[in-house]
Amino acid sequence: MSSPGADQAAQWFAAQYASAPEGVWHAPGRANLIGEHTDYNDGFVLPFALDRGTFAAAAPHQDAVLELTSRQAAGRGAGAAGRVEIPLDSLAPGSVTGWAAYPAGVVWALREAGYPVPGARVAVDSDLPQGAGLSSSAALECAVALALTELAGLDVARQELAAIARRAENDFVGVPTGIMDQSAALLCQAGHALLLDCRSGEADSVPLNPARSGLTLVIIDTRARHALTESGYGARHIECEEAARALGVRTLREVAGLESLAALTDPVLRRRARHVITENQRVLETAALLRQGQVDGIGRLLNESHASLRDDFEISWPEADVAVDAAVGAGALGARMMGGGFGGSVIALLPQDGAAVHEAVRAAFRGRGWPDPGFLNAPPSSSARRLR
Ligand code: GLA
C-alpha cells in the first residue's frame, strides 16, 4: 500500500539518482506512554508508534558503496551534506558524522552481525519533527535497516534488527541509548502500546484505545530542543550504573525494593535509583490498567512519572514543567515529559475535545514569552513496513 509520503520519497530518490527506487520503506517515530530511563537499566517500557516517521526509498548499487541523500538535510541548506557517498569497506565508528552516521552505522552494524548487505542508494525523507524527542534517529535507523535487509533478501527477525539498529547508535554514532526506540519502531502494533521487558526481551502488545474512553493522547512539542549527544543523558546512564554497583547488583532492575536504597549513602544516586525503581512499577501498573480497559485510570501514573523525572531524575526542563502544569490545570487527566530529557516533548492524556488544554498551554507559553508549542495527535500506529 503506497502513501503520499512514500510517493514523495520515491520522487526524491528519482530526482537525486535519475532512476527509480526498488521500494520504499517506512519506520515510525515513537511516543513513550510511560517508562523513562528504564530501558538501559534492564527495566520496563511502554512505548507506542506514531503515525509519522521516516521513509527510505532504496535500490541496490552496482558498487560496494553506500550513497545517501536526505531531503531534510538538503532543505537545511546542507548542500553537498545532503548527499553522501561512502565506500562500504571504509565504514568504521567515527568515520561518518552528522545525519548520515545513522544509516551508515546501520550498514556497519549489519555487517558486524554477519549480514553482508551490498552497496545501495538510499533517499531519506521524514515527516517527524527532529529533536522533539520522538525518536527520529531510531526511525531513520530502522527504515534503512529494513530496506537494506529486504533488498538483500535477508530475513532478519525484528528483535534482532532492533538490536542491530541500537548497536549502530551506541557504537557507531556513539550515543549510549537503550533499546526502547528501535523496538518501538519495529515491534509496535496499531491500537496498542508495546510492553517490553528490556531484561528478557519479552514483548507484549497491550491494547491502547483512548478514543474508546472518550479520550485522546496528544504530544506537546515544547520547542525546546535537545541533542542526546550533548545532553546529560549519558551522565544519567553512568549514575545508574554507579548506583547499581554501590548496591552490589548488576543493574537497577535487580534491586529488591525501595527499602534497599537506604544502603546508598550518596543522596543523588539514591534519587536516581528511586526514579528507576518506582518508574518500573508505574509501567506495570499502567499496563495492567490498560488491559482492563481503564485508560482514564492511567492519568495519575503519568503525573507521578513526571514528578519523579523532574525531582528524582532531574531531567525535566522549564517548558515541560509549565506544559504539564498548564495541561493538568485545564483538565488533562495526566501529563509527563517524554524521552531522554532536557528538551523535546510532553505527552498528555486529554478529553477528546482538548481545546481548553491546548489554549491553556499556549497561554502559559505566551505569558513567558516562549514560542507557541506544537500539538500533535498521537493515535497508536503500526511499526515499520514496506510501503511500495
Ligand atoms: C531516549 C533513548 C531511549 C530511552 C529514552 C529515555 O529516547 O533513545 O533508549 O533511554 O531516551 O527513556
Q: Which residues are 220's β-sheet partners?
A: 346, 375
Does 246 share its domain with 159?
no
Rg (CA), the chain: 21
Substitution site in 142, 177, 251 for ligand 1 pocket (most atoms within 8 Å of beta carbon): 177
Q: Measure 11 CA to ligand 1 centroid, in angstroms.
A: 33
The answer to whether residue 226 scores a pLDDT higher than 90 is no
Does 163 share its domain with 217?
no
Nearest CA to ligand 1 atom 11: 340
**pLDDT recorded at residue 228:** 64
Note if 204 is an active site residue. Answer: no
Nearest CA to ligand 1 atom 9: 178
Does 34 share its domain with 136?
yes
Instruction: Output the domain CATH number for residue 260.
Output: 3.30.70.890
**Ligand 1 atom with least separation from CA of 233:** 11
**CA torsion 73→88→16→28, rounded to 10°?**
-50
pLDDT over 90 for what percent of the chain?
94
**Ligand 1 atom with least separation from CA of 37:** 12
* Per-residue pLDDT tens digits for 264-273: 999 999 999 9
Does 190 share its domain with 217?
no
**pLDDT recorded at residue 161:** 98
- Helix 136-151 and helix 158-167: axis angle, to 10°? 120
Catalytic residue among 181, 197, 312, 321: 181
Tell me the HSE value of 131 on the side-chain side, using a 13 A CA sphere. Answer: 12
**Ligand 1 atom with least separation from CA of 228:** 1
Q: Which residues does ligand 1 sit against, CB inside 6 Å? A: 36-37, 39-40, 135, 177-178, 180-181, 339-340
Exposure pattern of 14-28 as b/e (b: 16+ CB <10 Å)? Answer: eebbeeebbbbbbbb
Q: What is the DSSP letter of 230?
A: T
Tally of residues, the chain: 388
**Ligand 1 atom with least separation from CA of 175:** 8
Q: Measure 146 CA to ligand 1 centroid, in angstroms.
A: 21
Substitution site in 180, 313, 314 for ligand 1 pocket (most atoms within 8 Å of beta carbon): 180
Mean pLDDT of 177-201: 98
Tell me the HSE value of 38 on the side-chain side, using a 13 A CA sphere. Answer: 33
Residue ranges making up the domain that contains 368: 209-377
Please, which pLDDT band fits residue 130 given cuts at 50, 70 and 90? confident
**pLDDT recorded at residue 303:** 99
Substitution site in 38, 39, 137 for ligand 1 pocket (most atoms within 8 Å of beta carbon): 39
From 332, 330, 363, select the one nearest 346 (Cα to Cα). 332
Substitution site in 46, 181, 219, 282 for ligand 1 pocket (most atoms within 8 Å of beta carbon): 181
**pLDDT recorded at residue 263:** 95
Does 199 share its domain with 218?
no
Mean pLDDT of 364-384: 97
Mean pLDDT of 214-233: 87
**CA torsion 104→109→112→116, rounded to 10°?**
-60
210: CB partners within 8 A, 6+ apart:
216, 217, 295, 349
Q: Measure 6 CA to ligand 1 centroid, in angstroms.
A: 27
Q: Measure 51 CA to ligand 1 centroid, in angstroms.
A: 19
**pLDDT recorded at residue 31:** 98
* Per-residue pLDDT tens digits for 292-309: 999 999 999 999 999 999
Does 251 share its domain with 160?
no
Mean pLDDT of 148-154: 97
Does 193 share its domain with 231?
no
Q: Measure 134 CA to ligand 1 centroid, in angstroms.
A: 10
Q: Measure 15 CA to ligand 1 centroid, in angstroms.
A: 35
CB 72 within 8 A of CB 143: no
**Ligand 1 atom with least separation from CA of 169:** 8
Does 163 share its domain with 254?
no
**pLDDT recorded at residue 131:** 83
Does 312 share its domain with 354?
yes
Does 175 share its domain with 307?
no
Output the DSSP codes for 141-201.
Answer: HHHHHHHHHHHTT----HHHHHHHHHHIIIIII-----SHHHHHHHH--TTEEEEEETTT-
Does 116 share its domain with 229?
no
The answer to whether residue 82 scores a pLDDT higher than 80 is no
Mean pLDDT of 198-217: 97
The count of structural domains within the chain is 2
Instruction: Output the domain CATH number for residue 63.
Output: 3.30.230.10
Whole-angstrom distance, CA of residue 259 vs CA of residue 274: 10
**pLDDT recorded at residue 103:** 98
Does 88 share its domain with 57?
yes
**Ligand 1 atom with least separation from CA of 135:** 7
Say if residue 74 is exposed, middle or buried (CB neighbours under 10 Å; 0-12, 13-18, 19+).
middle
From 73, 166, 186, select the one nearest 113 (Cα to Cα). 166
pLDDT over 70 for what percent of the chain?
97
Say if residue 257 is exposed, middle or buried (CB neighbours under 10 Å; 0-12, 13-18, 19+).
exposed
Q: Across all residues in the chain, what is the average pLDDT?
A: 96
Q: Measure 76 CA to ligand 1 centroid, in angstroms.
A: 26
